[in-house]
Structure 1
Amino acid sequence: MASPKRASLQIGKMFMELIVLAGVISTTGSTIQRPDYDDTANPEFLNPSWMGGIPDSRSLSEVTLPGTHNTMALYGGALAECESWSLASQLRAGIRFLDIRVRNIRGNLTLHHGVSYQRAHFGHVLEDVAQFLAEYPSEMVLMRLKEEFSETYDIYGPVVSYIHRYAHWDLLWHSRLVPTVGEARGKLIVLQDFAGPDLGMRYGSLNIADDWKVPTLLHVNEKWQSVQEHLDMAIVGNKAEIFLTYGSGAGVFAYPNAVAQRINARIYDYLTARMGQNLRFGIITTDFPGALLLQIIIDFN
């Protein structure tokens, strides 16, 4: 027979587990539109040309800009979905960093989040980006590109083929060097997370914090500590280096939307407390960002 103390500990553990499960369940129902978090179909407001006010001479590494993690993960259920806005809406809302994952099936590059097919292919991404940059030439788009749910380790050729078919070669920034804002306007900057000759910059050249594993909602504090430490580092870090901080995370008992509701709110408070200061944070990437959170990130420029 278990002692009263041990029984009490077991009950406490079960209670905490129920809280965790309740946290997951409670965030998978109706949609929410908050200043920091938005899983509705459309942004609260748009900001399509915000980079027009940044001086041409400024290095891209000194710009603070918002991004989305697993940008095209709109399908597959609560554990797979990371965003709710279309790519076109994300770009017009102010997102300038995209996280694109492609599955290579005999040269066909479909979009995936793990096993979840996202009902599109890489050509759709290129078409949306090209159309956006043609409409707003003051802007630029950074795109991390990697292979997902396939292990061919050979997507360079298909990527080049898609660029020629669905966009054009001159759309790309063809250098590993960090451009100035003026040099990058109207360009797609591929952050190459795969082998092969240079298409653009190398993803690994960035200073990255991506502690995405959040086993349960009880681990959110650990995730936030990682995010805050890297944002603090970006303020004082090498201004010639691009910093990239992922606010996203997930686990079996912590769906992306549940983590985002908690981490986005802390990012919002962290940035709001520093508004009006001349600070550089680099790329701040989230799941389900709210329009006002994007605006606050943008306003640091």
Structure 2
Amino acid sequence: MKAAHKCLLFHFVLLSVIFLCHGQYFNDKGKLVLPESYKIPWMAKVQDFLTLSLVTIPGTHDSMALYGGPEAECQAFSLMDQLRAGIRFLDLKVFGLGGTLYVIKGVAYQHSTLKEVLDTVQAFLSEYKTEAVLIEVRADSFEKILVNELVEGLIGSDQHYWVTSGMPTMGQVRGKIVFLQKNTFTLGIPLIEPDGTGSQKVTNIQDKDNRIVKQLSQAAEACGGDNAVLTYTSGTGFGSFWGMFLTPKRVAEKVNPWLNQYLRQFFPNQHRPCLGIIAMDFPGFDLIQDVINLNTW
């Protein structure tokens, strides 16, 4: 009996450790609890003279995708909690209707307009003036002209936005929203994705891990240039037979702990690689912090 109790206790402790470690890097609970010692404005440590392309930045893929069921949902933290946790890149798919840009995921409306997102980010930046938030606006090609016109109308002549294509220094963009241009959006810094793979369909997690390694290696080579460099660690098996059960959450559940271990291999190094923007699904607080800690000051 005692041996059986010991065995059960061992498995309970083991499962508890696995759960706790798992929760540090993957989060689907939607509740952010910050350590008392945590400092929200981490960009304050980035020297003013450094170009933005030399900073490794944690981001979220489909940043507002909190609704629509398992195939649509990609995040658990609210927008403000993402920013407070250290996220500095937002990925937004929008749809224009009646002069308003709505944030969507697939066909699912994400209970927010682009204006509401920008207002929330501006409120955050007004409190933490050392920070900058990068935003990629994605639209269908047939809405390219409409979306660009509506965004220009939203921001007007507000100087708290970076809309030119030149790569700025950190000092130039503190307190600002920095737009990134790609395909259907033409405001801001040019954005490139290593290997051009984006968030591909996933049918095998190991293959996804290997693609991420390849992308991050290419990102390291491209850092410091005239373009922002983006790697998506997200993925979904939706639409494929072999990956039909791999929702964004299930992919992130497996990829995020692996990604954390991959990134931590660089921590003993005095000079850690610049990896550009890393956009994730369901990132836990500790994973976000480990991306930030790739920067050395």
Q: TM-score range by the shorter chain?
A: 0.7 to 0.9
The equivalences for 1:127-142 within 5 A come to 127-142=119-134
Partner of 1:65: 57
Summarize the Cα distance change of 1:269–1:263 in structure 2 as closer, same or farther, 3 Å threshold. Answer: same
Instruction: Point out 4+ residue stretches in structure 1 off by more than 6 angstroms.
Output: none
Query: Residue 239 of structure 1: CA displacement?
Result: 2.5
1:201 aligns to 2:201 (yes or no): no
5+ residue gaps, structure 2: 1-20, 239-243
Partner of 1:246: 232
Correspondence for 2:199 among 186, 193, 212: 212
The equivalences for 1:10-21 within 5 A come to none
Amino acid corresponding to residue 111 of structure 1 in structure 2: V
Partner of 1:121: 113
Answer whether contact 1:59 1:180 (CA < 8 A) is retained: yes
Amino acid corresponding to residue 251 of structure 2 in structure 1: V
3-state SS, counterpart of residue 268 of structure 1 = helix
- Between the aligned partners of 2:187 and 2:160, the Cα distance in structure 1 is 11
Answer whether contact 2:57 2:87 (CA < 8 A) is retained: yes
Correspondence for 2:171 among 166, 176, 182: 182
Correspondence for 2:135 among 143, 152, 172: 143
Query: Residue 209 of structure 1: CA displacement?
Result: 4.9
- The alignment's C-alpha RMSD in Å is 2.1
Amino acid corresponding to residue 248 of structure 1 in structure 2: S
Q: How many residues align?
A: 262
The equivalences for 1:1-301 within 5 A come to 34-45=23-34, 47-148=39-140, 151-154=142-145, 155-164=147-156, 169-193=158-182, 195=184, 199-204=187-192, 207=194, 209-216=196-203, 219-240=204-225, 241-252=227-238, 253=244, 254-277=246-269, 278=271, 279-301=273-295
3-state SS, counterpart of residue 112 of structure 1 = strand
Instruction: Name whichever of 155-164 and 111-120 sits farther off.
Output: 155-164
5+ residue gaps, structure 1: 1-31
Answer whether contact 2:231 2:277 (CA < 8 A) is retained: yes
Summarize the Cα distance change of 1:44–1:272 in structure 2 as closer, same or farther, 3 Å threshold. Answer: farther
Answer whether contact 1:36 1:290 (CA < 8 A) is retained: yes
Instruction: Name whichever of 43-52 and 107-116 sits farther off.
Output: 43-52
Answer whether contact 1:110 1:120 (CA < 8 A) is retained: yes
- Between the aligned partners of 2:230 and 2:64, the Cα distance in structure 1 is 19
Give percent identity, aligned residues only.
35
Amino acid corresponding to residue 203 of structure 1 in structure 2: L
- Between the aligned partners of 1:152 and 1:238, the Cα distance in structure 2 is 31
Answer whether contact 2:88 2:132 (CA < 8 A) is retained: yes
3-state SS, counterpart of residue 190 of structure 1 = strand
Query: Residue 208 of structure 1: CA displacement?
Result: 6.4
TM-score normalised by length of structure 2: 0.82
Answer whether contact 1:207 1:242 (CA < 8 A) is retained: no
Query: Residue 118 of structure 1: CA displacement?
Result: 0.6
- Between the aligned partners of 1:66 and 1:176, the Cα distance in structure 2 is 21
Summarize the Cα distance change of 1:213–1:199 in structure 2 as closer, same or farther, 3 Å threshold. Answer: closer
- Between the aligned partners of 2:250 and 2:162, the Cα distance in structure 1 is 36
Amino acid corresponding to residue 266 of structure 1 in structure 2: W
Summarize the Cα distance change of 1:181–1:285 in structure 2 as closer, same or farther, 3 Å threshold. Answer: same
Residues 233-269 of structure 1, C-alpha deviations (whole Å, 9 max, x = no match): 2334452243211000012211000000111111101
Summarize the Cα distance change of 1:95–1:160 in structure 2 as closer, same or farther, 3 Å threshold. Answer: same
- Between the aligned partners of 1:132 and 1:256, the Cα distance in structure 2 is 27
Query: Residue 86 of structure 1: CA displacement?
Result: 0.8
